[in-house]
Every structure is written in structure tokens, then in C-alpha cells.
Structure 1
Amino acid sequence: MKTKLYTSFFFSLAMVFLLFMRVNAQSTTLTGEITGKVLDEDQKAFPYATISLLNAKDSTAIKGTLTGDNGTYTFKDLNAGKYLIAIYVVGYKKTFKGPYAIGADKRLFQVEQVQLATDAKQLKGVEIVKQKPLIERQIDKTVLNIENSVLASGNTALEILQKAPGVTVDKDGKISLRGKQGVNVMLDGKPTYLSAEQLANLLRSTEGSAIQSIELITNPSSKYDAAGNSGIINIKLKKNKNFGTNGSLSAGAGYGANYKLNSGLNMNHRAKKFNIFGNGDYGVNKRFQETDIVRVNGTAADQTYFDQTSHSDAKRINRNYKAGIDYFINDNHTLGFLLNGYHGNGNDAANVLTLIGDRPGKTDSSVVAPNTNERKYTGITYNLNYKGTLDTLGQEISADVDYSRYTAKQNSVFNNMYKDATGQPLKPAYIFRNASPSVVKIQAAKVDYTLPINKEMKLDLGLKTSFVQTDNNFLFENFNNNQWVNDAGKSNQFLYDENINAAYANINRKFKSTTVQLGLRLEQTNSKGNSVTEQKVVKRDYLNLFPTLFINQELSKDHEVGFSYSRRIDRPDYGSLNPFIYYVDLYSFRQGNPFLKPQYTNSFEFSYSFKKSLNVTFGYSHTNDVMTEVLLTDTAKKTIFISVQNLAKQDSYNMNMSYPVQITKWWSSNNNLTVYYNKFQTPNLLGLPYKSGRTSFNLNTSQTITLNSSTKFEWSGYYQSKQVYGTLLIAPQYGIDLGASKSFMDNKLSIKFAANDIFKLQKSQITSAIPSQNYVVNERWESQVFRLTCTYRFGSKDIKAARQRSGSSESEGRRVKSGK
């Protein structure tokens, strides 16, 4: 009942505010308006054509816009006077219409439909040399334009994220943005709802050739889900929009210490009433990883020294696919269906040697463990979507309904053979295995509505609901008397159900040189975790409000400042809540925590931009009940284990500076520096107060050398200084990548070469920030890989359908479509 009252009050307030704004807008003085529509040579709506409004007296440009998806354009609030309309698209003849005299006798003009004609002279000699930069700064986000990047060839989405400015990815695939974990990763604007492990597997199975761009949003608006204390990473997949039938075929091979293969097919057919598209990618990746763990366990009087080394070889085979259809009901309404899925399987073979003694360098006994692991992951998502343009003023409504199902099966066998100091058998081998099948089902639906109240004001409203169900089984078996026997004390089943209902309102108002956006999001959460075997149930129901504020001020033509604030939440992922004990080896394991609480973050950010090139941001956030991965030793069992716990609070300060430089006509440079300080505090960890903090920085740079329109070279490098996160001290990490590309056959065929970690610099070292915990974890993996990728494009490639988004309304278009 309380939830219904909150929701009713929230929307009643929004509707009253909307009515007031409408009345206020209607009371203003009416001015003139010119509208029109552009068609191509086949009399189809022409989207994103450049339209200029000119002064009829001297043909000077007054303002510009782009046509919408339905080919229409509008110039509103025009003062009295005479105007011309100019329509221009590369490859077509420039067209002028008018003059149109706006005065007291006539205020509204409907320009007759304009059908563009191709310009044979321009098409014959056209050479497109300008393209989007690799890193593009926008007012509310940073965009990595992956589609044409050399370094993306043959890499997966997870590997590409490692090259993104301010982003770090650890050995387990956990992602941090500007030194903070808790990133909400989205695909095509839709949440994944996956645990950290499942998300890492999804990103490993997504080939770079399928990615169009990656958006880094550090302080999202209320339109987005409130999850993600460090922001949102939105991965946008390719979707060909060209008319006719077209596509591309790619194949690549790579080699480091092992072979790599990848291939992909992209097809698209677009006609007047529908657009059918699909793509599939296949990848094989075999790689190694080496891990050394040196630790001391026990008390001052009784210490045990462990020196563990392991080498594992892993092979993963990934397949992902996407298919969909858009049906254009008419120029203003579109209905679409999308199918997106992936399938991955792999196996690991690890040889682990653990030397045990009572002092450094002495071996009293050892454990030799040849362990194996087989895994299989599948996922599929069905999406039904609708988008409608309700009028020429920009009033829009969109709706999405999603159903997703993810399955995972993992089987591990641990063979532990005990040896004495001379290497002879010490006691019978201890052999056990784990089977951990899991199923995740997700149902979600949302509706978004946009209303331009007047020229300077816009209102966004939306509703969303989602239901998540997970079923995790864990079977632990011991090998006794030549047969497998279930260990009921270590086997378990964990069920988790979650329902989130949300509503939001955003109001955006533009003044002369100031833009202000206020937002409020309401989210009501119902969750239930049930450890069936242990008969433990954790149930939570809570309601939260999440306000946002954005202010942008243009000080002059070259100087711009901004301020933003948001409140956000992070709920525990399903893997962290699962109380199973998952063994890495005999002395190392992970364990979930079903009593984890959600964490809440208040974030503030101040930004400065000079000529939209030099961008500097200063951020501060405070998080309560921060969820942190904690690595601890058990002195009684002499083991080392990882779990997620709620520490009391985290304070994070960061400064980010980026500066793309066009050094010469053929040499461009993108540079990004992030400096941050993370401080963690909690009153009780292992019976004592705990506090940690450290200033760290990340530096990313990429250089592009363009020899001509068909040949270019790239190199990129990164350096991450020593940092602290929770109870972990992480040593510096760094690496350098190289790439080159060459196009042939009128850009239909392209060949790309990429070299990752050319000097074998990447490695990881972790120690404890807790003085009483004495361990060092060193890791090295197959980071140096050389790849060669070939791509062939075929079919129609009309310039008119490329949907180039540029011009005077570019930023407005982004804001309207953000989050879709």
C-alpha cells in the first residue's frame, strides 16, 4: 500500500507540473514556423538530410537541422522576415526552396515535398576521408568509436574495454571505471542483469567486429536504472541501416603462445516497409595463465609457509548471433523484433604444485594437483519494441518488452596427491569434484515518453518493471572406493527472486547560455534469497528515491562548465549472494554471502571544456555499506578465501583530463589521464577497525597515423599505478598495443593487423592491505597476441542511408535517443 501511495504521488506531481508547463507554453506569443519533408529518388522518406534556414536577403545561414526518421524537418519560433530553405546531402544535387515571408498575415508554411536527385558528378569523384575519432567527448559521456578501429580487430568486448580511458578490468573480468567498481554494463541500452562471472563470459563471447561503439557514462540521468555507483558502460552493437541488400564477411587468425580464430557474417536488407538484419560471430581462443601464491598462515608461535605455483591452459569456443526485423507501419511508427544470443563452451587443464613448510625455503610436504574444468554457457534474449513520433514537435513514445534466459554448466575435478619432502606418497589422494548448473530467467518491460513543452523545455517520463529468477545447484562429490559419493554437507541449492518497479521524470530547460536538467527516479525492490539445503531465507523489500541534477553553462564560445549530481544504488549480484563454497584448488576457494546489503552512493561531478577538445572533470562520491571483495586467510584451516562483504563506507575523489590533438594533417592523438583517491573504512574487520586509502592514476594514450584514405597505423598504451581496493593492494600494470590497416577494391576489402602487449609487459601482483594478512599473488597470462583480420563488404552501399548523425541538432538527437 505504501508503494502505491508513493508511485501515485510521484506521477500526480509530474502530471500537475506538465499541465502547468503546457498552460505556460500556450500563453507565450506565437511566432512563425516552416515545416517540410524530404524524399529520395525512390520517393522514400530520407532520414538525416542536412537542412539549412537562410536569410532570403543575403543567403546567410540562420540555423540548421536534420530530417527525422520519417524525413520531416521543422523550424519553429521564427521572427517576421523572409527565409529560404536549403537541402544538401553528399552525392545529391543541392536544392533551394522559398522565399517564405513570415508576418502577421501568415505564420505557418508547409514546404512541398522535396525529392532529391543524385549528382552523378559528385558520386563519381567522391572520396570520404573524414571519420569519427577513436575517442569522442560528448557533453554527457565519452564514446569509443570501435567500428573502424584497427586495435578492435580480433579482440573481444572484454579485451577492448581494457583499452578504454579510465576503465580497468581485472583477471576475473571485473570492471572498474575511474578507480571504482560497481559499473552497470548495458548492451544496446538494455541492462544485462547478470552476475560478474556471467557478464565476463558474455563479454568474452562478443567479438569486437560486432561492436559499433562503447559509451562511458560516469553520472547517468534518472532515465537510466539507478544501479551502478561508478556509472554505466553501454556497448552498442552494429545495425546496418543501408537500403537494399548488403553485408560483410570477416575472418581472422591470431597467435601468441597458442592459436586464435575468429570469423563473422553481417547481413542486412532494407526496403520501404521493413528492415531485416542479422549477424553471427564465431571465435576460438586458447590461452595460458600462470599463478604464484606465496603466503604465511598461522600465529607467531605456529606458522606454516605455502609456496604455490600453477599453470593452466584454457580453450574457449564462443558463438554469438543477432537477428531482427523493423516494420515501418508508416512514417511515424515503427515496430521491431530482436533476437540476441550467445553460446560458449570451454575447458581448463591446470597443474598446481603446493610446497608446504614451517619456514621459508623448507619443504616438509607438497600437494600435486592436476585439475580439470569444463564449462558451458548459453544465453538468449527476445525483444519486442515500438517507437512512435506523435507529432512534428518531437513528441515521442517508445516501449520495450524483453525476455531472457541464461544457463551455465560447470564441472570441475580436483586431484590432490600428497607427497613427503622426498617426493614420495605421503597419504592417500584426496579427489573431489563440483557440478554447478544454474539458470537465470529475466522478464522486463518499459515505456518512455518525451514531450517538448516549448522550444526551451522538454519533459521525459517513463515506467519500468523487471522480474529475475535464478536457480543455482551445487553438487559436491568425493571419490571413495572407486566411486563418486555425494557430500550432503557441502552440496546446496540456492534460489533467488527479484522484482524491481521503477518510474522516472526528467525536465530539461535551456536558457540563453545555461541548460538545467532535473530528474527523479523511484525504484521499489522486492527480493528473496533461499538457500534450500541450509534452510536460510533472506527477504528484503525497500523503496528508494534517486534524484539527479545537471547544469551546463556556456561561458563563451570556447569555454564551458558543468555540474552534475546523482544518487545511485548497487544491489548484490546473484553470484555474491550464493553461499556455495567454490574451490579454485585445495587451499583456495570463493564463498558467497547471502546477507549482503545494497550499497548507496551520492556522486558529484564538476566539468570544464575548452573548445570542446580539452575536457577536465572533478568528481567526488560517498558510498555507504560499500560491497567489497575481501581476500582473507583462515588460520585454522590454513586456507585462503575470497568473499564479498559490506564495509562501512567509501570516499572516492577523482580527476579526469582528456585532450585529443590533431598534431598534423596525418597524425592525431588521444590522451586521457585519471587521478583518483579511494578511502575505505569499517569499524570491524577480523575484530579490528580497518582503514585504507591511496592516490592512484591511469594514463591512456592512442596515436593514429593516416597515410592516405586507405592506409593507417595505430598504437596505444596504458599505465595504471599502484592502487588499493578494499583489502587488496594492486601493483602497477601497463602495456603497449600496435595496429595497421589497409583497404582495397574501393574500400570493399580491408586487412587489419594488430599486436597486443607487444613487449609482454602485462602482469598482476596483489598483496594485502591488512597488516596481519601475509600473502603475495603473482599472475601472468597470454597477453602478447598477434592478429590478422580480413573483412569484405558486399551489396548496396548508398550514401543516402548511412544515417550520418551530424549537424546543428546532433546533441539534441543524442539526448532524445539516449538510453534506447
Structure 2
Amino acid sequence: MNKALRLLYGCLLAISLSSSLLFAQSGTILINVREANQQPVIGATLRLTDRADTTRKLYAISDTAGKASFRVTAGRSYRLLVTSIGYKPLLHELLNAADQLTLIMQSDNVQLQGVSVTAAKPLVRQEDDKTIVDPEPIAATSTSAYELLEKTPGLFLDPDGNVYLSSTTPATIYINGREQKMSAADIASLLKSLPPNSIARMEVLRTPSARYDASSSGGIVNVILKKGVNIGMTGSANAGFNQGRFGNQFVGLNLNYNQGRRSSYLNLNYTRRNTYEQIQTNRAFSTDSILRQNAYTTYPAQIFYTGYGVGFEVSKKWDLNVDGRFSWNESNSSASNMNQISQISTDRLLSDNLNQIDGSNRLLSVTQGVTAKYKIDTLGSELITDVSYNFMGNRGSQDFSTQYLRPESPRTSGDGDFDSQRNLLAVQVDLKYKLTKSITLETGTKVTWQQFNSRQDYFTWRSNQRVPDAGRTNAFDYRENINAAYAQISKSFGAFLLKGGVRFENTNMDGHQRVPVDTTFKINRTDLFPYVYLSRRVAKVAGYELRSYLVYRRSITRPAYDYLNPAARYVDQYLFDRGNPALRPQFTENYEVNISVEDRPLFAIGQNNTRDIFTNVVYQDPARPSIAYRTYDNLGVNKETYFRALAGIPPIKRYFFVVGAQYNYNEYSGIYENKPLNFKRGSWSFFTYHSLKIDTRSTFTLNGFIRTRGQLQFYELSNFGGLNMSLNRKFMKDKLMVTLTANDIFFTNYYQFTLQQGSVSADGLRRNDTRRFGLTLRYNFGLRKKEERTNMFNMEAPAQN
């Protein structure tokens, strides 16, 4: 595979270098925008995009004579998009820029107050080194941002809330361009509090540039929230429910306001949800003994969410935006775990006990950000300063008990309280400067400070006395400071775009375990992370441009405090968690080649080479084989080769679809329990999305995925997947939308797992409340711009002259 990758890189690079560089002269092109009756179209918006460098976009507004002009370079190809209220969008390809051009716009007969279906808007499109996902068609069938991610083609989520893109390393979640620096469980809780219709778009960066944190080895998913961008006062009210074994209900209100140089928005949402999780595990801890565990947990919760923001155009050069989010999550849990130890040869039950845990949890999340943008010139040069603060407080309690059924023994019980607080402050300055029309410099700095404090106090009842439980009680403080700086430069020449850069990161970690033992540690290190990106036009097939991208990136995954803390943490009487203070960070080098058609991704092939990979491992206690310790180790190296393809058809009258596939092949080599541990495993993932327009007001959609022979660390997963359907219809002059949904119709979105790891042999099943049927209502009000039709592959209407 290495030879094939090197050969492909070499061929594409040879093609690129063989092209001659052209130094062309610039000139002015005058554009006349007219109606069919030759009357001028006043105030139309014109966007001119350089086909060779899509980051270069010029804008103009037609004057009272319907005229606008651009400064262009002779010999280059451009794409011109013209939009105006009351007219259908018009797309024109400028292959050889002329001195003058007249464009005729077709009128749109739909009134402004209505919702019309006019322009082509892609669900998935490629923009340089990132994929843009428009969530609008999926949002109507989802109750939260978490569900929206689950249904996005090409994104996969595990039951713990981790998001996966190209590799088996989880992606990093950003919101409005800011890294959240939370655990997977905390991020999942945050995403479940976000209403789906508050999201404007999602940016998927599988190979982020030097501008982004190097800790994003698995890529980045950047969730961009909607802001007040409409004319006047607009908004929507929504409500709905869905029902599985348990039910979810939600209600929300979104307001947007824009007047002159000021815009604002307000999102309010209340959700009441409940779900369950079932985990069955069988673990052999000796040649003739097996431990069978069956855990069932319910999670009822209610969530209050508020999002707000205000934007100011201070002057023609200065923009200021203030935004924030507030989330309050009240949740409870009730867990029942049956534990049985049997003799394999005789199937005789040796031990039988029941663990029960009832808990309550209160989670408060507050985020506040301020962004200032200074426009340096009209070429796109800008200076952006972003300051953000995030607070997350988690407080709760637990009551636990164990009933010993065989051999019969007195019941044990206890209780505990926990309190944790996380404060994160980030300051980032980014400069984008156009040195020339074809050369762009990007540089910046970022400083983050994180403080995390946690305290857990547990007690057990002994002889009718409440005494401290040393096995569960712990307290620790954690400090983290990361200082970063980067510089990268991009240059377009002919059909090429070359971008290269390097990122410098200085990491400082200070952890202090106070209870039960002192496990203080400090980590200070500095690393460099290079990045290279090359794009060029390969060919033009049937009028469509075929463009290739080559990417190289180095990244780091740092061990979190929980991975480093060696103090044992009680899970149940058979399982403990503990960290490894000797754990080293893991480094990944990523190579990728991908191809897109127009702005739509087609296929990609790449490889991740990871050294010092730290993996979740399980060790059995030699003295007490029934007890296992779950921890992390740097066991070896992993080479992961992946292939991703995406295809579809344009709308055939009322129907279109997209289908995709991804293949991951892992080759692992390491040492476990002082013995060689090597394995090779391949896994396929398939996903699809279909849309059928029944009539002018009704649409049927279907989406689903299948994963075969999946992998989660050393766990081998069975085949699993899910199929979702929705039917929506508009009423009341298209202002009211009613949506019926059915998620995981065949109840197949669960998996069985096996773990064959040294002396550990286990298997089991994990299932959640994924099959649900629901109803959603959304009412749009206020004076609105015309909405756009979602078209998976953005098959544009022919250009008109």
C-alpha cells in the first residue's frame, strides 16, 4: 500500500510540476444585469470566484443602471453567481473573461412572505481543505445537534459520544471555531442540549491546516451556530416528541433581527428526554470460571438551553460580535447490574449479587465569546481577535447498594457526593494578509488556560455507622496551559494552489492528586507540526472540473489527566479504573490524496502512521483473577490505511440520492504483557441519503448506514447500522412544516463485541434506546428571504447569456 501511495503522489506531483507558470495581465470586466424586458436589475449581489483558487472571492453590487465591474486576470477561469430578491439565482462560467457581459435574470413569482424552492444548495461540498455540510434537511428529523451528527453522511458516533471521520481516532469538536476541551461524555451532553435548527452549517476538516490545534489527530468537526442575518425580525417556533421505549419532548423559539449595521439572535429551547443503556459482558478470569454481568441503566433528564448574540458593523473596516450560550442539565440515573460467577465445566453458579446505583446530576455550562474583525483591504486581508471563556460545573450524588444472593450475605450500601468545576480561557489572534493577488500569508497565536478541580466523597454503612469509603473517595486539581503560534503561506499559480505551514506548541500540564494518595506530576514539552497542501485542476470531464488535493500533516494526541492519574477508581467490585503516569503522547503522520468534482467530494485515499499509540487495556489482578484494572499504555505502533468514496445522481424530476463508502485497514504491532501483540483488521462503513419530492409541499427522505467488522480500540465489533425515514409537509402558505420521523426502524443500531487481549478474554453486547418514532412542528414567522432548496450534489441550472 505504501508503494501505491508513493506512486500516486509521484504521478500527481509530476503532472503538477510539468505545468508551466503563466504571468498574465489583468483587466476590467463590465457586467450588465438585466431583466427579460431589458430593464436593469438594481442591487443584485455578484460573487466572482477564481476557479484555480476558490479562496479568492470578489463581491459587487449592481448600480441603478444594473452595472457592476470586477478586476480580473486574463487567461484565468472564473465562476460568477448573481442573486437578487425576486429573481432566480444565475450562475455563469467565465472561461475567457471578456470586456463586457450581459446577463438576463429570470423573475421568481413567489411572494417574499412565502417560502419558495429556488436555488441549488448542496448538503455536502468541498471547499479547499474542508467539507461543508448543510444540516437543514437533516435538522427537520432530529431533536438535538447530537442526533444531527449521527445522521450526517460520513460521520460515525460511538455510544460514548466520540465522533469519527477518516480514522479510528476520535475527532475534536469545535463550536463557532473554538475547541471545547471537554471529555466525550461532556461534549455529548452539550450537543444534546443544542437544538438542531440553531446550526447554520458544519465544517468537517479531516486534515486541518497549521491554523488549527495540533491535538486534532482524528480531524475536526466545527459546528457553526446561526446568527441574525435576515432582514428585519424573523424567527421560528418548534415543538415535537419522539417515542422509543422511553419518550423525548422538546419546544423551542428562535428569533433573528437585523437592522442597518446591527444584527442579533436569541435561541430558547427546553427538552425533556429519557433513554436507556444495556451492557452485557462475559469475562473468563480463569480456565474454569466466568463472570457474567448484565447492566441496565436509565437516564431521564431535562435540559434548558439559551443561545444569544449581537453583531455590530462598527465601521467599514471593523466588525464586532458578542455571543454566548447557557445550558442547564438536570439528569438522574438508575442502574441495576447483575453479577454472576459460574464454573464453566459444570455450569454451577458460584456467586450471585446485584448492584444498584441511583444518582442525580446537575450540569451547568456557560460560554461567552467576543470576536473583533478588522478588514485590512479589499483583497480579503483581515485581522481577527477572538476571546472566549467557558465554565462547566458538575454536581451530583449517588446511592449504591449490593445484595449478595449466593452465597447469602448481609446487604452493603453507601452514598456519595461529587463536585467538579472546569474553567477554560482562550485568546486567539489570526492574521490573513494578501501579499499579492496570488500569495496569501496566514499567521497567528493562541494561548489557552484550563483549570479543573474535582472532589468525590463516598461513604459506606458498617455496623449502622456511616464511614468514609477509601476505595471511591478522591480529589484532584489539574492545570493546563498551551501556547501556540503558526505561520503558513499559500500561493496560486496557474491551475495550482500550494499551501504550506508549521505550528509550534508549548504544553504545560500540572496535576495534583490529593486523595487518596499524592500523585503529583508535571509535563513540559515543545513540539513542531508541519503541514503541506497542494491542489490542482487535473482534467475537465463532460464540462465538470476534476480537482485533486494532496495533504501531509503531523499531529499529537496528549493524554488527559484521567489517563495519567495512577490512583484506582472504583467501578464495581470486579473492575477498577486507573491511569498511567508514564504515558507518553502519541504522534500521527497523515498522508491523503483526494479528488473532487466541481465543489463536491468524490473519493480519497490516505494513511495514518501513529507511534507510541496509547490504548485502553485491561489487566487482571494476578492474586485475584476476578478483579480487572482498566488503564492505558503505549503499546506500539499502528498503520491505518483508509479509502473513502462518495457518489450520487442529480435530481431526476423529483428524486435524488447520494451513497458513500469508507474502508479502514489497521495494522497494529506492539507488546502486551511482555509478549508480542500483532493484528490486522479491516472494516467497511456504508452510508446513503435519498430524497423524493412527492409534490410541491411534501418530501420523503431516507438515510442510513452500515458498519461491518468495526473496531473500538482492541474491541472487535459485530456488524451494525441503522435506517431512518421522514415525511414532511408544508401548510399555511408554507409557513408551517409538519414532520413525521422514524429512527432505527429495524432496531439494528447496536453491536456485540469481543476482546481477546493477552490473558483477557471477554465478549458482550451494548444496546441503547435508538428505535424511535416522532412528530415535529415548526412555524416560521416574520418577513423572510426566500429559502433555498437542498440538493445533495448541487446540480446547478444552466448558465444564461
**TM-score higher than 0.5:** yes
The match for 1:415 is 401
The match for 2:533 is 550
Structure-2 change in CA distance of 1:88 and 1:693 (3 Å): closer
C-alpha deviation, 1:29, in angstroms: 9.4
Pairing 1:127-142 to 2, within 5 Å after superposition = 127-142=116-131
C-alpha deviation, 1:702, in angstroms: 1.1
The match for 2:210 is 222
Q: Distance in 2 between matches of 1:485 and 1:392?
A: 70
CA contact (8 A) 2:747 2:771 kept: yes
The match for 2:45 is 49
Report whether the alignment pairs 1:76 with 2:71: yes
Of the candidates 194, 201, 205, which is equivalent to residue 193 of structure 2?
A: 205
Q: Distance in 2 between matches of 1:341 and 1:47?
A: 39
The match for 2:780 is 793
Report whether the alignment pairs 1:191 with 2:142: no
The match for 1:471 is 453
Q: Distance in 2 between matches of 1:402 and 1:381?
A: 7
C-alpha deviation, 1:766, in angstroms: 1.7
Q: Distance in 2 between matches of 1:368 and 1:742?
A: 49
What are the superposed Cα offsets for residues 402-442 of structure 1, whole Å, 9 maximum, x if unpaired?
11111112423321111126xxxx12222233433111111
C-alpha deviation, 1:94, in angstroms: 11
The match for 2:252 is 264
The match for 2:719 is 732
The match for 1:496 is 478
The match for 1:143 is 132
Matched residue SS, 1:363: strand
C-alpha deviation, 1:322, in angstroms: 0.9
CA contact (8 A) 1:614 1:660 kept: no
C-alpha deviation, 1:88, in angstroms: 5.2
The match for 1:346 is 331
Q: Distance in 2 between matches of 1:576 and 1:410?
A: 23
Instruction: Specify the code of the residue in structure 2 equivalent to 1:75.
Output: F
Matched residue SS, 1:159: helix
Report whether the alignment pairs 1:704 with 2:691: yes
The answer to which of 129-138 and 348-357 deviates more is 129-138
CA contact (8 A) 1:416 1:586 kept: no
Of the candidates 49, 59, 64, which is equivalent to residue 67 of structure 1?
A: 59
The match for 1:42 is none
Pairing 1:367-382 to 2, within 5 Å after superposition = 367-382=353-368
Report whether the alignment pairs 1:390 with 2:376: yes
What are the superposed Cα offsets for residues 105-139 of structure 1, whole Å, 9 maximum, x if unpaired?
xx9x9xxxxxxx99896757994344424333444
Instruction: Specify the code of the residue in structure 2 equivalent to 1:141.
Output: K
Q: Distance in 1 between matches of 2:549 and 2:89?
A: 38
Structure-2 change in CA distance of 1:693 and 1:726 (3 Å): farther
C-alpha deviation, 1:446, in angstroms: 0.7
Of the candidates 500, 508, 521, which is equivalent to residue 538 of structure 1?
A: 521
Matched residue SS, 2:475: strand
C-alpha deviation, 1:592, in angstroms: 3.4
Structure-2 change in CA distance of 1:33 and 1:121 (3 Å): same
Q: Distance in 2 between matches of 1:222 and 1:625?
A: 22
The match for 1:630 is 617
Matched residue SS, 1:753: strand
The match for 1:317 is 302
Percent of residue pairs identical? 25
The match for 1:400 is 386
Q: Distance in 2 between matches of 1:501 and 1:362?
A: 60
The match for 2:93 is none
Structure 1 stretches (4+) deviating beyond 6 angstroms? 68-74, 92-95, 117-122
The match for 1:21 is none
Structure-2 change in CA distance of 1:589 and 1:488 (3 Å): closer
Q: Distance in 1 between matches of 2:361 and 2:563?
A: 19
Structure-2 change in CA distance of 1:557 and 1:642 (3 Å): same
C-alpha deviation, 1:358, in angstroms: 2.4
Pairing 1:71-150 to 2, within 5 Å after superposition = 75-77=70-72, 89-91=84-86, 123=111, 127-149=116-138
Instruction: Specify the code of the residue in structure 2 equivalent to 1:201.
Output: S
C-alpha deviation, 1:361, in angstroms: 2.9
Matched residue SS, 2:147: helix
The match for 1:366 is 352
CA contact (8 A) 1:158 1:203 kept: yes
C-alpha deviation, 1:488, in angstroms: 4.0
What are the superposed Cα offsets for residues 67-126 of structure 1, whole Å, 9 maximum, x if unpaired?
37999987335569xxxx99752426999xxxxxx9xxxx9x9xxxxxxx9989675799
Structure-2 change in CA distance of 1:617 and 1:51 (3 Å): closer
Structure-2 change in CA distance of 1:29 and 1:733 (3 Å): closer
What are the superposed Cα offsets for residues 559-588 of structure 1, whole Å, 9 maximum, x if unpaired?
322210011111123443444544443323
Pairing 1:562-601 to 2, within 5 Å after superposition = 562-579=549-566, 581-601=568-588
CA contact (8 A) 1:197 1:575 kept: no
The match for 2:766 is 779
List alignment gaps of at least 5 residues for structure 1.
1-27, 39-45, 54-63, 96-101, 110-116, 808-820
Q: Distance in 2 between matches of 1:324 and 1:47?
A: 28
Of the candidates 655, 660, 666, which is equivalent to residue 654 of structure 2?
A: 666
Q: Distance in 1 between matches of 2:206 and 2:124?
A: 15
Report whether the alignment pairs 1:678 with 2:673: no
Instruction: Specify the code of the residue in structure 1 equivalent to 2:330.
Output: N
Instruction: Specify the code of the residue in structure 1 equivalent to 2:348.
Output: K
The match for 2:602 is 615
The match for 2:5 is none
Structure-2 change in CA distance of 1:118 and 1:376 (3 Å): farther
List alignment gaps of at least 5 residues for structure 2.
1-22, 34-41, 50-55, 91-96, 795-801
Matched residue SS, 2:652: coil
Of the candidates 732, 735, 746, which is equivalent to residue 748 of structure 1?
A: 735
C-alpha deviation, 1:710, in angstroms: 2.3
The match for 1:7 is none
The match for 1:334 is 319
Q: Distance in 2 between matches of 1:126 and 1:437?
A: 48
Report whether the alignment pairs 1:162 with 2:158: no
Structure-2 change in CA distance of 1:126 and 1:582 (3 Å): closer
CA contact (8 A) 2:47 2:82 kept: yes
CA contact (8 A) 1:49 1:66 kept: no
Q: TM-score, normalised by structure 2?
A: 0.84
C-alpha deviation, 1:319, in angstroms: 2.1
Q: Distance in 1 between matches of 2:623 and 2:62?
A: 70
C-alpha deviation, 1:607, in angstroms: 1.2
Q: Distance in 2 between matches of 1:341 and 1:621?
A: 38
